[in-house]
Structure 1
Amino acid sequence: MADDSCAVAHGDAADQTATRTLVAVFASPVAGYLIRYGNDLGYRTVLVEPERGRVSNAEHGAAAAVLTALPAGLGADADVVVTDHHRVELGPMLRDALASPVRWVGVMGNPRHPAPHIPALTDLGVSPGDIERVHRPVGLNIGSRTPPEIAIATLAGLLADRNGRKGGFDF
């Protein structure tokens, strides 16, 4: 009998990803790659974009659903990634994600710059404990610069976190 990694490599392992949901908030180039690669990883992908005119079918059409608000019923199988920290809807989107039992919430952004989600959530009355649930930056530190690289780093970080690993080459 092969070990687990061998079974996976040969396609003999049961699919463990069927219940994962990836919610990309705000249509952006990074969101397009998150959706594309998330589908490849077995996530059910959802794009949330309050302004439908920003959604490009070419870039975001692979999402299982395109919604203007976070879907009701998001559970502990969901990871929420906010791909634009400059949008006025940042606070309400994060507040709504934090109000549901999602597994993970993160906002893309440079850790050397102030975190705009903190005052946005504070102004909405979100508790400091809930604000601390928001991850920023997101993804593994692999020196990503382009949208596809950022999406890969983000998804690798989500997978590492989901699997209780730090990520990287240390075993």
Structure 2
Amino acid sequence: MQTTELSVLSQVHHWLSTQQPVYLITVLKTWGSAPRPVGSLLAINAQGELIGSVSGGCVEGDILERVLQGEFKQVSRLRYGVTKEQSERFGLPCGGILELLLEPLQHVEQVAPAVQALKNRQLIQRNVDLRTGQITWKIPQKDSALSYDETHFSQVYGATWQLLIIGAAQASHYLASFALPLGYHVIICDPRVEYASSWQVEGTEFTQQMPDDAVLHYIKDARSAVVALTHDPKLDDMALLEALNSPAFYVGALGSKQSTEARRSRLQELGITPQALEKLHAPVGLPIGSRTPPEIAIAILAEMMAIRANLLNQAQGKIQLLRQCVAA
């Protein structure tokens, strides 16, 4: 399954390649309650077809109506939900305000580099001059939050989130199935022939590499997670030895408290430092009383979502703090 960004931008690329003008809308900023986060995308073609979302309410309908009426000839910034009447009209939560960037696009080159970067899990920065609409591209050194001011807009695309699952047992089926619609590229690693032959979750990638080799091959950045679910120390520990020293934002392992303590002791004996062990989430998942495979999968993804959101909030907070320092 493609991520939301890739789905929207791929469709934009297709429309532009068939000579259809496209309007790309990006969430710049939100105040109060907002249904879609900063960076969310919506695209509308000249025939009124839509892909993506910026509100989940009536904002999309209003923008579509204005697009079809030919209102937008150049880059525009829009605000919705400024008044109580607007909030009620456009279906925004109480107190929610959206600031949006709308860009009329004509050429595939205006999105092609981002599509390629997303497909390759590479970072690329799209910069827009809000006065002229001119787009330039840059290879950034690291991921960063969306930023803008009165004259310029910048957004980094690429490095889609990925999840490496060690083991192809029943819990892995549910974890993979639930992770796909959350925007993860899911890789299953299991060198055991009997499990490889029964894997049937469409949209996932399967590898029979040894777990440590799989971690080294796939886990290159902080938009990656590793979850070990085999219950076999020979396989799980191999993956954890590499994952705990990797840039992955989340490393988890299935097991009881007793087996987790035994695992921690083994990993320390194998050279993992106490600092690296602090990265291990085990027993894996939020403690919500999960027992069945689908419940375990939900607990794992809930914990991953909480950690991922906190990382993104920290990054956005640093950007905001930097802006305040510069303004002062």
TM-score normalized by the length of structure 2: 0.44
* Residue identity opposite 1:82 in structure 2: A
Equivalent position SS for 2:165? strand
Structure 2: segments with no counterpart, 5+ residues: 1-26, 37-53, 61-99, 101-156, 312-328
Partner residue in 2 for 1:23: 164
Partner residue in 1 for 2:174: 33
Measured in 1, the distance between the counterparts of 2:293 and 2:226 equals: 17
Partner residue in 2 for 1:78: 224
1:66 aligns with 2:188: no
Q: Relative contact order, CA 8 A, sep 6+: which one is greater? A: 1
1:155 deviation in Å? 0.6
1:88 aligns with 2:239: no
| Within-5 A mapping of 1:1-171 | 4-5=34-35, 7-10=54-57, 19-55=160-196, 56-58=198-200, 60-69=201-210, 70-71=214-215, 72-74=217-219, 75-111=221-257, 113-115=258-260, 116-164=262-310
Q: Is the 8 A contact 1:47 1:63 kept in 2?
A: yes
Measured in 2, the distance between the counterparts of 1:87 and 1:63 equals: 24
Greater Rg over alpha carbons, structure: 2
User: Alignment RMSD, CA only?
Assistant: 2.8
Q: Is the 8 A contact 2:159 2:223 kept in 1?
A: no
1:100–1:52: structure 2 CA closer, same or farther, 3 Å change rule?
farther
Q: Is the 8 A contact 1:90 1:117 kept in 2?
A: no
Measured in 2, the distance between the counterparts of 1:54 and 1:5 equals: 40
1:89–1:57: structure 2 CA closer, same or farther, 3 Å change rule?
closer
Partner residue in 1 for 2:153: none
Query: Which 4+ runs in 1 deviate beyond 4 A?
Result: 10-13
Count of residues in correspondence between the two structures = 161
TM-score normalized by the length of structure 1: 0.79
Deviation per CA, 1:81-126, whole angstroms, max 9, x where unpaired?
Answer: 1113333222221011123211110111223x24232122123212
Give the fraction of aligned pairs with identical amino acids, expressed as a percent: 30
1:37 deviation in Å? 0.8
